[in-house]
Amino acid sequence: MIQRLYNGLRRRTHRRSLNAQLHPEAVVTPETQVENFAGGPERVQIGAHSCVRGRLITYGHGGRIAIGEWCYVGVRTEIWSMDAITIGDRVMIAHDVNIHDGTAHSMDPEERHRHYRHIVERGHPRTSEEMPGVFSAPVVIEDDVWISFGVTILKGVTIGKGSVIAAKSTVLRDVPPGVLYRCEVTPVITPLKLGVSDA
Scanning the chain, the segments in alpha helix (DSSP H) are 2-11, 109-122
Question: 68-83 pLDDT, tens per residue?
Answer: 999 999 999 999 999 9
User: Is 2-181 a domain of CATH 2.40.30.10?
Assistant: no
125 contacts: CB under 8 Å, gap ≥ 6? 59, 60, 61, 115, 118, 119, 131
Distances (CA, A) of 1 to 28, 149, 191: 20, 22, 53
Identify the active-site residue in 105, 113, 115, 124.
105
Computed over every residue of the chain, the mean pLDDT equals 89
Q: Is residue 23 flagged as an active site residue?
A: no
Band (1; pLDDT cuts 50, 70, 90): very low
